[in-house]
Amino acid sequence: MATAVIEQGAILKAPCIVGEDCFIAAYTYIRGGVWLDSRVAIGPSAEIKSSFICDGSKIAHLNFAGNSIIGRNVNIEAGALSANYRNERDGGEIICFDGQNHIGTGQDKFGALPARFWRVARSSNGSPLWTRPRRGNDFLQRARG
């Protein structure tokens, strides 16, 4: 029997889909437009808004992920921010690049697009530090004006 664990004090607002074997800790705030694949863990006091979080990813306590696509097996450690980058340039559509093609999103703001096996930590000055152990073809690029 597949289950998810949602601790007391967590708030989930529709639309929200929680997959098998997910864990949502106390005082987590899941705003509308969130899809959690299977085995996703969200730590205490995190906030997730309008995001897709894929299988096996973990978002530790005191994080914010907004308007983001988090790939498989991504580990976002405590206190990181994946927030709405707004491209304010003329013709500022956010463009994704898959290694060969530029793909228009129709959006002028976007949070983050970390691929599987990314790790997010904090540097000594408190800034988010995105690292990845190997090269890949997952990039997020701004449209050129």
Tokens representing 61? 């306590």
Q: Which of 61, 72, 109, 119 is catalytic?
A: 61
61 classed as catalytic? yes
CA–CA dist 96, 72 (Å, integer): 18
The dihedral sign for the CA sequence 78, 138, 39, 111: positive
Q: Which amino acid is at 80?
A: A
Active site residues: 61
